[in-house]
Amino acid sequence: MIKDPITWMASMCRHSYEARWRHYPQHCPNLVPNKYDKGPKGQTPTQKTMKVKVKFATQHIGKEPIPDKKNRTFVEYDSLVELWNVWYGDWYDVVEFPRLMVRFEDLMFHAEDTVTQVCECGGGTMRSWFRYVEDSAKGQYGPHAGSAGFLASLVTYGNSTLRMEGILTDEKDVAYARQHLDTDLMDIFGYAPI
């Protein structure tokens, strides 16, 4: 599943999963440090971007990073933008085995057609009935507490003119995203440039 990088970054600010970086509600997504990104001693990071570390559970195969004692591998990215570029770019470039990439937005706005196509792609057929789940499909507990339901998500993702409203609020973050987001990948999946 791939998601528009702007709304994906906003989602990561709410539920960062195994991605770790210093971020605060006043400035997230934070691609370039500003006054809100001060450390515990009041110092702004000296790096030019807000680096992100992601913990992957993996087994060592070939040239992959070697896991720690608990079979965890931490991979550092320059920013959330680089994480989006690399994560989805690597999946797009897979040639060793079949893979299917579905846009989150297509499931949101064209669910029945998209699921029908996914079923046919996998050699199956769609049932004669289709039911939308109105509550959050992720549940309301643990890391997904506070996730939006279907109607709230339609409002959030359904207006392209509001795509960036309240998300990239710092001009330096917008400039960084414009310069560093993989525009070829965005174009392939039909995501508008910033």
Phi, psi for 180 (deg, rounded to 5):
-110, -15
Please classify residue 12 by burial: count the beta carbons closer than 10 Å to its beta carbon, then call 0-12 exposed, 13-18 middle and 19+ buried: buried
Pairwise pLDDT comparison (92 vs 44), residue with the higher score: 92
106-148 tens-digit pLDDT: 988 898 999 999 999 999 998 888 887 665 555 555 555 555 5
Least confident of 33-42, 76-85, 154-163: 154-163
pLDDT value at residue 94 = 92
CA 120 – CA 112 distance, rounded (Å): 12
170-190 b/e (C-beta count within 10 Å ≥ 16 → b): beebbebbeebbbeebbeebe
Question: Structure pTM?
Answer: 0.82
- Express as a percent the part of the chain with pLDDT over 90: 50
Comparison of pLDDT for 59 and 15, the residue scoring more = 15
| Side chain identity, residue 106 | D
* Tens-place pLDDT, residues 60-92: 556 665 656 666 678 899 999 999 999 999 999
In one-letter notation, the amino acid at residue 30 is N
Please report where in the chains the tokens 């525009």 appear, as a residue: 183
Work out the average pLDDT over 11-28: 91
Give the amino acid at 182.
Answer: D
